[in-house]
């Protein structure tokens, strides 16, 4: 069983309870305009170019078998993606880290070994978190990985947009201790405008996640001008209160830390000029949810 992995990041404290190792799967069915991980959107390997690290030595161009690396310093981007084979020869030749390959094919055993090596650090109920991209695009791989983790007493968590077939959810949830479930917009038309798809399947999967018995925390990416208005907040609160139990919500304030990765991949970034919400604006939204009976925290 294999999957395309963008990164495995240890010692994370923002992706579930305790200290966790985060496995970033490559590929996502959504195209969120504010996405902070653009390198995880495509389901194929990609080469990125970090201009600030480039010395102009030309070694990358010399080894490229298809002439996809531009030599001109004033070129719009170092990589001509129409010619790039994503072989990684340029990455291997770059001593300065200016070229990076996003996406490595790994099998379940390799990923599990990387997770297991960090086990001594999993304090506070920590463990492994599958993120992305959308990890539910790889249900069989994830089920096998989580089953191995459960057998080794490693807590399992998934970060998901909820955009997956019900069968994929059903395959994963029996091995999942924690679910971090994004609720981006309750208005299906606006959800489609900003992510590329309507939200019907996502909201149904939110109910399935709650009914599974896993520990579920809903997360709302708080994006100025998209879902931070009073109507969006009220609709979100109403939806969460239709679910069984006492749903918890975490606000994820928008930031532009993914901007450099858009540039590295020569991708346009629709939100590059949007400012992060102020502390006052974030607190106003949190208080609004609290008044409507939804327990709400803010991610640091």
pLDDT of 244 > 90? The answer is: no
CA nearest neighbour of 154 among 127, 174, 172, 178: 127
Question: What pTM, to 2 d.p., does this model score?
Answer: 0.92
* Start-end of CATH 3.20.20.70 domains in the chain: 2-43+107-298
| CA–CA distance, 18 with 62 (Å, rounded to integer) | 46
Q: Using 50, 70 and 90 to split pLDDT, how confident is the model at 129?
A: very high
Rounded CA gap, 94 and 50, in Å? Answer: 11
Tens-digit pLDDT profile for residues 54-63: 998 999 999 9
Helix (H, G, I), strand (E, B) or coil at 298: strand
Domain(s) of CATH 3.30.70.20: residues in the chain: 46-102
Give the CATH class of 2-43+107-298.
alpha beta
What are φ and ψ of residue 216, in 5° steps? -110, 130
Q: Taken in order 297, 292, 226, 26, is the CA torsion positive or negative?
A: positive
pLDDT one-digit tens code per residue, 62-100? 999 999 998 876 777 889 999 999 999 999 999 999 999
Give residues with Cβ within 8 angstroms of 275, minimum separation 6.
224
Q: What percent of the chain has pLDDT over 70?
A: 100
The band of 238, judged by pLDDT with boundaries at 50, 70 and 90, is very high
pLDDT band of 220, cuts 50, 70, 90: very high
Residue among 164, 197, 210, 118 nearest 25 (CA): 164
What is 46-102's CATH topology? Alpha-Beta Plaits (3.30.70)
- Would the pLDDT of 7 be above 90? yes
């Amino acid at each position: 069983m294999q999957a395309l992995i963008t990164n495995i990041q240890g010692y994370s404290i923002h992706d579930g309870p305790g200290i966790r190792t985060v496995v970033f799967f490559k590929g996502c069915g959504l195209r969120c305009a504010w996405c902070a991980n653009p390198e995880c959107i495509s389901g194929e390997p990609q080469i990125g170019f970090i201009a600030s690290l480039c010395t102009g030595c030309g070694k990358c161009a010399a080894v490229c078998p298809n002439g996809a690396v531009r030599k001109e310093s004033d070129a719009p981007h170092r990589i001509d993606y129409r010619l790039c084979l994503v072989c990684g020869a340029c990455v291997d030749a770059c001593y300065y880290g200016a070229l990076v390959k996003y996406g490595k094919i790994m099998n379940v055993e390799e990923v599990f070994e990387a997770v297991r090596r960090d086990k001594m650090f999993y304090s506070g109920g920590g463990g492994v978190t599958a993120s992305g991209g959308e990890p539910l695009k790889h249900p069989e791989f994830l089920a096998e990985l989580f089953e191995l983790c459960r057998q080794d007493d490693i807590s399992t968590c998934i970060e998901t947009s909820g955009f997956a077939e019900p069968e994929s959810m059903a395959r994963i949830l029996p091995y999942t201790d924690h679910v971090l479930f994004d609720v981006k917009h309750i208005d299906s038309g606006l959800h489609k405008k900003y992510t590329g798809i309507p939200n019907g399947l996502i909201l149904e999967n939110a109910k399935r996640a709650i009914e599974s018995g896993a520990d579920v925390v809903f997360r709302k990416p708080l994006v100025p001008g998209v879902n931070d208005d009073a109507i969006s907040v009220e609709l979100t609160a109403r939806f969460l209160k239709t679910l069984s139990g006492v749903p918890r919500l975490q606000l994820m304030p928008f930031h532009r830390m993914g901007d450099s990765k858009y540039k590295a991949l020569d991708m346009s970034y629709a939100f590059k000029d949007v400012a992060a919400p102020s502390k006052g604006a974030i607190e106003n939204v949190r208080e609004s949810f609290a008044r409507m009976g939804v327990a709400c925290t803010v991610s640091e």
